[in-house]
Amino acid sequence: MIEFDVNKLRIETYKVKALTTALGGSISVLDEEASTDRQEVFHRIRVPLAVVRQFQVRHKTMKYMRPCLIAVAFYDKRAIAIERHPAGCMGELYARDHGKDLDIHGKLEVIMKKWVPAIEYNIEKVIRPLMGNNTWYFDGRYIFTFNKTTAEQSVRHGDFLSKDGRFRCVEVDAIGLHKLDDKSKLDPVDRTCLAYVAANGQFAISPPIWKDARAVGQAKIKGAREERSKGERDFSFDSIDEFCAVNISFALRAAGQLSKEFGFEAIEPLNLPKLMIRLNTVNLPKVPSEVKDTFDSGMSFTHALAWLLGFARRCEDLDTYATIRSLLKYLTSNGLFFKSAFDPTNIFKKGITIDDIPRLSKKEALEADIYKMSIDDRLEILRTQSSIRARAGRSNVVGGVLFSNDDDA
């Protein structure tokens, strides 16, 4: 875990021309020293993708005709929050403030008042006083402190998520620094971390990614768990191992990010060569996404989770810790798939098996009756099928071409 130091927070103001989510997120900043009356010069500053997206959701725009004044909050060298000037493109760092008193000449007094971003005010008036005597930690998004006196005590009192007690849910008080511009959202809230306790008593704790870590994977195994007897004690992580598998999409993402941070030896447990043999390819990233999301990587969920938590314990800088955070979040959401979803009994109609599907050569398939039809006959089939779907509100046909709604994907 990375211990939080409020003195590493700082605020910088820039004139920003555009924001982008490409290549992990960045902003285009006006270089006032290099710019001239005829040409403006810009340089890029890296800003995390989630921070840029939050700005986009709030302001509905990513580009400006003229540079817009924006304040950026940094923790050390990492941007954690951004705030646009209330006046948008019309805002200036200094604005005229008309005093209420008249000077000795009977004229209205005018002073130049500097814009103080809300994120700067909230750091000094809200975050700093909250530090107190507790030890706070930072994961790049949330600062958090343990409800118990120490992390060890919190882990000891954590709820068991597996029968052997290796995985536990640990409650913490957390504040999202990505919302620094909104004072009403800076009160500590309850969030949970995942902890792994080794046989020798050592433990590793994840960042507070989840509101309730007990709900991890529950949506995927809900139906399967209902079939169990009511009197049986159910540990959620044991159920996930039983009913779910870790897909190749997670393995490829973990390999790409962890190899940069810890070297190629760190990703040996993923056993990528074995996956290449099983899929008969040396280019795993080019495998169709439908296959990557539903093909078993060979790692169980609990093994993958313990593996990532081991890296979290080794992190020494915030960027690496944020990488582990993103991988943990991906593993517990898009990195899992329900194994029995592709069981033949759930795919074929009753009484039908894969042996009932005709196996045709390319030549036989091309000589099938449908390829002997005229274009008009083929379009008529499409229109007929589409009319059935349209009555259900799912799609329509325009000019003989079938269109499907994205919601059906």
For residue 392, is pLDDT > 80?
no
Classify each residue of 271-292 as buried b or exposed e, where b means 16 or more C-beta atoms within 10 Å of its C-beta: ebeebeeeeeeeebeebeeeeb
Of residues 77 and 387, more confidently modeled: 77
- pLDDT tens-digit map of 338-360: 887 777 777 777 777 777 777 77
| Per-residue pLDDT at 301 | 92
Tell how far CA 406 is from the center of its chain. 22
What's the whole-model pTM score?
Answer: 0.78
Q: What is the pLDDT confidence band of residue 399, given thresholds at 50, 70 and 90?
A: very low
Q: How many helices (H) and strands (E) does the chain have?
A: 14, 18
Q: What is the pLDDT confidence band of residue 361, given thresholds at 50, 70 and 90?
A: confident
| Per-residue pLDDT at 108 | 54
Burial of 69 from C-beta contacts in 10 A (0-12 / 13-18 / 19+): buried
Q: What is the pLDDT confidence band of residue 111, given thresholds at 50, 70 and 90?
A: low
To the nearest whole number, what is the mean pLDDT of the chain? 83
DSSP for residue 247: B
**Could you tell me the CA-to-CA distances from 372 to 151, 263, 369, 375, 400 in Å, in that order?**
72, 57, 5, 9, 18
Least confident of 92-106, 136-150, 377-391: 92-106
Q: At what angle do helices 248-262 and 301-314 cross, to 10 degrees?
A: 20
- CATH value of 2-125 in 3.30.2390, 2.40.50, 1.10.287, 1.10.8: 2.40.50
CA neighbor of 26 nearest in space, from 64, 61, 53, 5: 53
* 402-405-409 Cα angle (round to 5): 105
Taking the C-alpha atoms of residue 256 and residue 319, their distance in angstroms, rounded to an integer, is: 15
Q: How many CB atoms lie within 10 A of CB 268?
A: 9
Burial of 313 from C-beta contacts in 10 A (0-12 / 13-18 / 19+): middle
Of residues 362 and 171, more confidently modeled: 171
| Per-residue pLDDT at 232 | 45
- Cβ-Cβ contacts under 8 Å for 189 (sequence gap 6 or more): 173, 174, 175
Q: What is the pLDDT confidence band of residue 91, given thresholds at 50, 70 and 90?
A: confident
Please report, as a single letter, which amino acid is at residue 10: R
Taking the C-alpha atoms of residue 62 and residue 27, their distance in angstroms, rounded to an integer, is: 9
Tokens standing for 314?
Answer: 């080794």
- Total count of residues recorded for the chain: 409
Tokens standing for 250?
Answer: 């997670």
Taking the C-alpha atoms of residue 235 and residue 394, their distance in angstroms, rounded to an integer, is: 39
| Per-residue pLDDT at 316 | 84
DSSP for residue 4: P
DSSP for residue 163: T
Q: What is the pLDDT confidence band of residue 231, given thresholds at 50, 70 and 90?
A: very low
For residue 17, is pLDDT > 70?
yes
Mean local confidence (pLDDT), 51-57: 91
Least confident of 91-100, 109-118, 243-252, 262-271: 91-100
- With contact defined as beta carbons under 8 Å apart, do 80 and 87 qualify? no
For residue 297, is pLDDT > 70?
yes
Residue spans of the domains in the chain: they are 2-125, 244-357, 364-408
For residue 409, is pLDDT > 50?
no
Least confident of 6-20, 177-191, 210-224, 276-290: 210-224
| Per-residue pLDDT at 393 | 54
| Residues of the chain by 3-state class (helix, strand, coil), percent to 5 | 40, 25, 30
Classify each residue of 135-153 as buried b or exposed e, where b means 16 or more C-beta atoms within 10 Å of its C-beta: ebbbbbbbbbbbebeebee
Residue percentage of the chain with pLDDT more than 70: 85
- Cβ-Cβ contacts under 8 Å for 305 (sequence gap 6 or more): 167, 194, 196, 237, 328, 331, 332
Mean local confidence (pLDDT), 7-26: 91
